Amino acid sequence: MFFKALLVEKAGYNLRHKVAHSLIQYDEYSIGIAHLLVLLLLRLGEIRFSRIKVLKKSLNEHLNSQNTQKE
């Protein structure tokens, strides 16, 4: 929801559209927008790392189950 509101919702900031089409004026850039974009990047990283942790856990469980079957 955060990504959608910040980047594409017309009722939100709609930054993707404004920046991609050069519709945002210089004075519209602010530290608040910069903070939101940094937060967005941090959340993107969190999602990626969470998926990696889940994949590693799943792989370890699979390998452990195969090892116990061999014994």
For the chain, the domain total comes to: 1
* Residues 15 and 6: beta-carbon distance below 8 Å: yes
Sign of CA dihedral 43, 46, 47, 48: positive
What distance in Å separates the CA atoms of residue 49 and residue 17, rounded to the nearest whole number? 28
Q: Within 13 Å and on the Cβ side, how many CA atoms surround 21?
A: 7
What distance in Å separates the CA atoms of residue 14 and residue 34, rounded to the nearest whole number? 14
Does pTM top 0.85 for this prediction?
A: no
Is a pLDDT exceeding 70 seen at residue 8?
A: yes
Is a pLDDT exceeding 70 seen at residue 71?
A: no
pLDDT tens profile 20-61: 898 988 888 899 889 998 888 888 877 666 666 777 777 778
User: Containing domain of residue 36, as a range?
Assistant: 2-70
